Amino acid sequence: MSVLSYFSLLAATVDAFIGAYALALDRRSALNRLFFATCVLFFWWSMPYVFMHSAPTREFYARMFYLGSPGWIWPSAILLHFFLVLTNRPFVRRHRWLVWALYLPAAVIQIQALGGHPVFAKDFIRVPLGWYEVPDLQSPWFILLSVYFESYDILGLALVWRWGRRSRVLREKRQARIVIVTGFLAQVGVTWDIFGWQLVSAHPVPTMSNAFVTVWLVGVFYAIVRYRLMALTPAAAATDILRTMSDAVLLIDRDGRVLSSNRAAEEMLSLHSEELVDLPVSALFVGDAVSLGWFEDVLGRGGEHNRVLHMRTRSDETVPVRASFSAVRAEDGELGGAVAVMRDVREELRQEEILRHLAHFDPLTDLPNRALFSDRLRQALAHAARRQENVALAFIDFDRFKEVNDTLGHEYGDLLLKTIAQRLAVGLRKTDTASRMGGDEFAAILTGLKKPEDIEPLAARLLSVFAEPVRAGERELRVTGSVGISLFPRDGDEPGVLMRKADLAMYAAKKLGGNAWQPYDQRMSQSSMELNPPAPVGKAGT
């Protein structure tokens, strides 16, 4: 065999190996199957040339040339199909008929070749290194074949270039660059093989186009193996799954440095993948939450789950995340690093805070509700007992509030409640607590009283919240209130006792006509109130 026969044998061997290797990686992948079919055709193209370069006669060369024609007619169509699936799989699914129509030119040219008609060479002549295929430059079939080859190959390169340019993944950009460079080199080699040698050599050189196009095939294969082109392997499929996860994922080496990240992590931290690589994981968290010692402890224990940490973004914003760290071990059991999965819990924490707030605060007035009020009352009584101070418990109720709801509607009633609640919150001291107990009933804890007489100015302040009318659009709503007050420790030292007595005092104030405050008196009881109402202590405005 001639030296060119060995080149063709090498090209055929490479085609067979990389095709079988890609198919073994994942037989179910459409990309793998298309790549394997392309490699089979290139093998079909190269193998005849192993014998053709040493062909004994012109007739033998011509028969082998047409036998190998599917190997150089069909690959451009299959490669374009491969690049379409790679760069725009949804388009292929939606336009299957259009994709299969891409094979029509190849089918027409193949039928012409199998009929014994020249579609490329008009003659075969012996030259020093073998046989030379004389191109039929005037034949319309040669022109069709050239247009088919060039347009399909250029379109395939353009698709890969556009895909790489639009991708935000560094791996895909590198894949696109490799495919484009090797494809361009293959195009230049084939063009030179057909036309270039005639310009620089006195004797034509036998064709080696099959070896030149193998360069492109090897480039695509290198992108598959080195950069895991799309989902050609189970590992690559896992990579794509991680990339599309909504949770942020970091792969960390055993020294606590970032090896890689997914898109969610990059978006959460506002950092590019190149900036995250080799960054200490402790630098991504606020404080000493993830120190190297803590990280080593996590690796030793095999993982720590559902711990809320705070990550630091490029703009120094802190993002609360629920983090899970899991150790990664090699097949031999040796510790290799860890996988960190972080979920942004800002919305989750906000919802939890809302629920906690609703559990302790009234939704209409945003004042503490009965449960929180009772807890604060117990704390206030304990504090006052230690300091030997007095605490006043005031119950406040609207006068004739039902008339407002019945005549004007609940919308006006709610407006009254919210306005009076705001006035209470503003009018009380910081150490005091106002609460809505339910309906139109409010309560207040008044602390820090040195003697019982200190309650009088505070009671007057409670009544003053009703002094100004409440404006509702063009209406002015005037409402009054009744206030009943019990005093710790004079009237009792238990929250329940003080609340019952404050309620009795408030009921007494209502019996006196409302718009007044009344301290608890021992004579007050449900039965005696009807017969002997106490004398009024304080009226609003007096």
Cβ(416)–Cβ(404) below 8 Å: yes
Q: Using H for helix, E for strand and C for coil, what is the string for 30-62?
A: HHHHHHHHHHHHHHHHHHHHHHHCCCCCHHHHH
Tokens representing 294 are 């803590």
Burial class (CB in 10 A: 0-12, 13-18, 19+), 443: buried
- 440 catalytic per annotation: yes
Across the strands, what pairs with 470? 477
Nearest partner of 391 among 349, 340, 444, 430, judged by Cα: 444
Question: Residue 395: what are its φ and ψ, rounded to 5°?
Answer: -105, 130
CA distance 78 to 75: 5
**In terms of DSSP bridges, do strands 516-519 and 481-488 run parallel, antiparallel, or are they unpaired?**
parallel
Cβ(231)–Cβ(29) below 8 Å: yes
Provide CB contacts within 8 A for 273, sequence distance 6+: 170, 260, 261, 266
Question: Residue 202: what are its φ and ψ, rounded to 5°?
Answer: -70, -30
Cβ(364)–Cβ(436) below 8 Å: yes
CA distance 434 to 518: 18
Tokens representing 498 are 């003080």
Burial class (CB in 10 A: 0-12, 13-18, 19+), 14: buried
CA distance 221 to 232: 10
C-alpha torsion 384→386→387→391, nearest 10: 10
Provide CB contacts within 8 A for 405, sequence distance 6+: 412, 413
For residue 468, the 8-state DSSP code is S
For residue 270, the 8-state DSSP code is T
CA distance 500 to 512: 19
For residue 131, the 8-state DSSP code is E
H or E element at residue 357? helix 346-360
Please report where in the chains the tokens 């690959």 appear, as a residue: 75
CA distance 230 to 363: 53
Tell me the C-alpha to C-alpha distance, in Å, between residue 38 and each of 160, 284, 537: 17, 46, 102
Select which of 440, 454, 491, 521 is catalytic: 440
Across the strands, what pairs with 12? none
Tell me the C-alpha to C-alpha distance, in Å, between residue 73 and each of 151, 316, 522: 13, 59, 111
Please state whether the peptide bond connecting residue 489 to the residue before it is cis, i.e. omega within 30 degrees of 0: yes
Catalytic residue numbers read 440
